[in-house]
Amino acid sequence: MAFTPWYKDMVVYHIWPRSFCDGNGDGIGDLYGVLYRLDYIKSLGADAIWFSPLYPSPNADWGYDISNYMDIHPDFGDLTVFKRVLKEAHERGMRVFMDLVVNHTSDEHPWFLESRKSRDNPYHDYYHWRPAKRGRGGRLLPPNNWTSVFDGEAWEYDSNLDEYYLHLFAKKQPDLNMDNPKVRDEVKRILRFWLDMGVDGFREDVITFIAKTPGLPSAYPRIPVANGLRHYSNLPAAHSYLREFKRDVLSQYDCFVVGESPMTDADTALRYVTEGPNQVLDEMIAFSHMEADCLFVDTIPRPFSLPKLKKALSEWQYKLAGRGWNALYIENHDHPRIISRYGSEKYRTESGKMLAAMYMLLQGTPFIYQGQEIGMTNMPLPELGMYKDVMTFNSARILGKLLPQKKVLSIIQKGTRENARSPMQWDDGPNAGFTTGRPWFFVNGNYHEVNVRTEDQDPNSLLNFYRRLIAFRKTTPVVLRGDYRELYPRDKNFYVYERRYFDQRLLVVCSFSPELQRFNAPEDVRLDKWQLVLTNYETCFNIGNGFTARPYELRVYLYGEAAL
């Protein structure tokens, strides 16, 4: 039997540390809080923890602007407490993954501070510096017409050098010049530092942006957001650099690497994750299934489309089958809460259970984001000035050119990624048990009902459903290894798929409707002969070879030897 890499069977718990748990009472989540909650994470059935950035940072992008890759931000603790978290996680059988952010650094990183001292500084070529152009009347012009993802133009002027530097994200996040072999050597040094410490792998942030078209040409026709994308997304050199990192460092360790790649389809992902000699990533984080209620980004809203969601999920299931491995998720630090998007706050528990099974029973490695397992929801703030995130304000700036302020606020309330960054709701006490101090950000007012302690004590809660679901997943071969086949792809109310593995079959039926809907099983499925193994309602009846689905009803049927 062929060896199965350990990452294919694991479940990963994703921590955004600033909002997870405050262990020292200063209002900011930290590693002391993580230590205190390790047993909770293990109780879910998680096999690994992925930390969003823990490194020192000025927090222009809440840690994704790094000023030191080989230390811990004082807000979170220090290397000593990190090593203790690592040791105690390992003792509980859980691996630990770090966020690797090497497309850009902070503008307060020593490399960048050196680079802007002079054009002949040894660090100047660590970044993309270009001479300023002059237009009519001596007006300053940027080197090309690219725009950033976060912050207007992609170029920032430095009057001391009379040059611009490239920043595809915020102004305080200058892009590294990965064409420079010295920069690639720095990345290898960072990788070795954490791997030698005992870290088990990395989630690599916007890793397919690390290569740029030589000469950095302007892009036409212009697009409103991220103009120039084709000159820095998924270029052949990106694969070459990742292959170098794997050859020189990663292949020497038993580690896991998952890459984030915005605006990448399954065919493109296969360049990176196809198993064999050219594989450079174990998995790729896709975005297309998070666009079922928006256009490209969460702050350009559109009506939710179940066929669009199903098409995206099925494309990755079909195209990676037998060739690569999927990363499965429905929430992370970059998206609003999923129940508020694809589910229903009215039917929070029912839709939360349905959405959980919908994605965790697909083929791939499931990632669970903090608070997802208790059904945390969006938290609309009444004023734009109450938000803190650079991406929120950039979205508001763009929308404000087109819409009245009241409409802008409404869109931000639903679409900002800050909905996922409110403090974790541990209990119904002050500040939801997150801190004994003053929280760094607002706590969702529904914490009296939605919290870990309350749900832990309720056997029918969403939290305990996640525990049962994960246990079922780990003990059921058809979930871990089975083929995938979507049924009824045009249906606007149900997402239905089947998994098969030898004589085991699994049927997953998910209703996305708040109304009663009739479901008829496929002709080759006799529901009275199959075992109902998971559902989100206490009593279930069949009517003929089907049933009338209640709001957001989930039913999972198993057939075969393990169902007996």
Catalogue the active-site residues: 205, 260
Q: Give the Å distances, CA to CA, from 259 to 242, 359, 407, 520.
A: 10, 19, 35, 39
The phi and psi torsions of 556 (rounded to 5 degrees) equal -125, 120
Distinct helix (H) and strand (E) counts, the chain: 14, 22
Question: Which residues lie across from 367 on neighbouring strands?
Answer: 12
CB 155 within 8 A of CB 143: yes
Q: Give the whole-angstrom CA distance, residue 243 versus residue 368.
A: 28
Give the pairing type, strands 256-260 and 297-301. Answer: unpaired
Which token pair is 398? 């763009």
CB 520 within 8 A of CB 555: no
Q: Give the whole-angstrom CA distance, residue 164 versus residue 131.
A: 6
Q: Give the whole-angstrom CA distance, residue 209 versus residue 169.
A: 11
CB 511 within 8 A of CB 538: no
- State the DSSP string of 343-393: S-STTHHHHHHHHHHHHHTSSSEEEEETTGGGT------SSGGG---HHHH
Query: Crossing angle of helices 79-91/31-44, nearest 10°?
Result: 10
Q: Give the whole-angstrom CA distance, residue 555 versus residue 394.
A: 41
Query: Crossing angle of helices 462-474/31-44, nearest 10°?
Result: 60
Question: Which residues lie across from 294 on neighbouring strands?
Answer: 301
Question: Which residue carries 């109304």 as its tokens?
Answer: 515
Q: Give the whole-angstrom CA distance, residue 83 versus residue 172.
A: 29
Alpha-carbon dihedral sign for residues 270, 271, 275, 280: negative
Local structure of residue 558 (DSSP, 8 states): E
Instruction: Locate all alpha helices (DSSP H) within 29-68, ordered by sequence.
Output: 31-44
Cis peptide bond upstream of 459, omega within 30:
no
Question: Which residue carries 């912050």 as its tokens?
Answer: 151
The phi and psi torsions of 195 (rounded to 5 degrees) equal -65, -40
Give the pairing type, strands 129-131 and 95-100. Answer: unpaired
Which token pair is 333? 């630090």
Torsion, CA 83, CA 26, CA 59, CA 289, rounded to 10: 80
Q: Give the whole-angstrom CA distance, residue 50 versus residue 52.
A: 7
